[in-house]
């Protein structure tokens, strides 16, 4: 695996973390987490974060790097991820990128253009109520080239937050350069991608059992503790999936049973989008 980067992708609960650890032990590797929520401190049970015991002594990076009250962007992930890749190579070891946030992985590996453009609060407010199809139409109008890049990527095309960010970047550029050749990171190494999957019914059952296990392990108490430590309900909702419905349950808007039912449905929908991403052609660098 000299000068190679291993990338493990796939839907939630499919077994990415366990495989990454096994391969790291065989290939002298270190693991870089590519999960947009596991970067936050304290979001452990709700995100299904790997435990110290499960790590089996394998170094893991980009877990627990920022307070959940703060925002961690894809640009932050790219910056830190590239530093970690360089450091792992310098130790003569193999970087293993493992996670379900496809956009983070593509940005890290230079597969998508990613300029450093600050947030445009006014623009975000104007676009906040629009649907994903409406946002994609706007992006296509402003930058057909960029729109074409994500047209067949379900997880990007149907994600309003990602589409708003793309529009934000495009509209920050001068009118005569709105289809720019934005520099991407060049890797002097080969990327080997492993996409994991399971038959739908088996994956759905694993998701259900995993959710019940996390509830029993104290997922609700974890959310209560985060709120006591100063994490606002609004921010908890923004963290998505488990924490969105945990916040609603803890505010007595939904019962525990309703929370579990809604989470089962939403996690399954998310897993299907991740599965589509993991089956896309990876290419090589």
- Report, as an integer, the average pLDDT of 185-199: 82
- Decide if pLDDT at 102 tops 50: yes
List the chain domain ranges. 4-112+185-198, 121-177, 200-273
Helix axis angle, 160-171 to 132-142, nearest 10°: 20
284 — pLDDT class (breaks 50, 70, 90): very low
Give the tens place of pLDDT for each residue, 121-154: 999 999 998 998 999 999 998 888 778 777 766 5
CA–CA separation, 14 and 25 (whole Å): 20
What pLDDT does 174 receive? 55
- Decide if pLDDT at 116 tops 70: no
* CATH number for region 4-112+185-198: 3.40.50.300
DSSP structural state of residue 66: B
What residues have CB less than 8 Å from 224, skipping those under 6 apart? 250
Query: pLDDT averaged over the chain?
Result: 87
What is the architecture, at CATH level 2, of domain 200-273? Orthogonal Bundle (1.10)
Q: Where are the beta strands (DSSP E) in the chain?
A: 4-9, 29-33, 60-61, 94-98, 190-195
Nearest alpha-carbon partner for 225 in 47, 42, 41, 45: 42
Give the tens place of pLDDT for each residue, 11-52: 999 999 999 999 999 999 999 999 999 999 999 999 999 999
27's torsion region: left (phi>0), alpha (psi -120 to 50) or beta? alpha
Report the percentage of the chain scoring pLDDT > 90.
63
- Decide if pLDDT at 3 tops 90: no
């Amino acid at each position: 695996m000299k000068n190679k980067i291993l990338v493990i992708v796939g839907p939630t609960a499919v077994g990415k973390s366990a495989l990454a650890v096994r391969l790291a032990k065989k290939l002298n590797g270190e693991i870089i987490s590519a999960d947009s929520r596991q970067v936050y401190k304290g979001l452990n049970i709700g995100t299904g974060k790997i435990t110290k015991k499960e790590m089996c002594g394998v170094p893991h990076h980009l877990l627990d790097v920022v307070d959940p009250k703060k925002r961690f962007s894809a640009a932050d992930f790219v910056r830190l991820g590239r530093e970690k890749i360089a450091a792992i190579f310098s130790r003569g070891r193999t970087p293993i990128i493992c996670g379900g946030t496809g956009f983070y992985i593509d940005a890290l590996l230079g597969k998508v253009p990613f300029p450093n453009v600050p947030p445009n609060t006014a623009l975000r407010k104007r676009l906040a109520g629009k649907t994903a199809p409406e946002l994609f139409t706007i992006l296509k109008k402003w930058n057909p080239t960029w729109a074409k890049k994500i047209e067949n990527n379900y997880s990007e095309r149907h994600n309003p937050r990602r589409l708003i960010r793309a529009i934000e970047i495009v509209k920050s550029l001068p009118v005569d350069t709105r289809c720019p050749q934005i520099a991407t990171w060049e890797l002097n190494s080969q990327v080997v991608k492993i996409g994991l999957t399971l038959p739908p019914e088996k994956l759905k059952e694993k998701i259900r059992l995993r959710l019940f296990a996390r509830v029993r392990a104290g997922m609700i108490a974890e959310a209560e503790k985060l709120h006591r430590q100063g994490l606002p309900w609004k921010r908890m909702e923004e963290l998505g999936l488990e924490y969105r419905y945990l916040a609603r349950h803890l505010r007595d808007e939904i019962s525990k049973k309703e929370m579990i039912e809604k989470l089962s449905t939403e996690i399954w929908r998310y897993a299907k989008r991740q599965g589509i991403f993991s089956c896309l052609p990876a290419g090589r660098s």
